[in-house]
Amino acid sequence: MYKQIIVLRTDLKMSRGKMIAQACHASLGAYKKSDQKVRDSWEREGAKKVVLKANKEELFEMMEKAKRLKLPTYLVKDAGLTELPPSTPTALGIGPADEEEIDKITGFLPLLR
């Protein structure tokens, strides 16, 4: 089974719309870096996505762990046109990748509710 994780920084106090936009950037960015066969399987399985919350330090920690496991990652840095200063890291996309591999590094983060 495959899934994709989107990690959003909740320490920035982004508006709901801003968070959604950043999550979309993270999802598409990581998707584009993933293997075509994995993408095809993930899509056939229903394209499972899970959104988690983290602070800046946790976001970078997840990114480094995912890179060590050679999982597709995409770090979103805001353009600075609306709510945040330019280049502010806001979200991280991981996968789609094997669910068990992703859970090894993100399993402790809480769900965004």
For position 27, what pLDDT does the model report? 98
Asked whether residue 11 is assigned to any structural domain, the reply reads: yes
pLDDT attached to residue 102: 96
User: Which domain range does residue 79 map to?
Assistant: 2-105
Give the CATH number, domain containing residue 42.
Answer: 3.40.1490.10
Q: Quick check: helix, strand or coil at residue 89?
A: strand
pLDDT for 44 equals 98
- Residue-wise pLDDT for 87-105, tens only, equals 999 999 999 999 999 999 9
- Give per-residue pLDDT as tens, 30-64: 999 999 999 999 999 999 999 999 999 999 999 99
Residues 2-29, mean pLDDT to the nearest whole number:
97
- Burial letters for 94-107: b for 16+ Cβ neighbours within 10 Å, e otherwise? bbbbbbebbeebbe
Q: What pLDDT, on the 0 to 100 scale, is given for residue 85? A: 96
Predicted TM-score (pTM) of this structure: 0.96
- Of 43, 39, 35, nearest to 70 (Cα)? 35
Mean confidence (pLDDT) of the chain = 97
In-domain check, residue 48: yes
Domain count, the chain: 1
User: Is 113 part of any domain?
Assistant: no
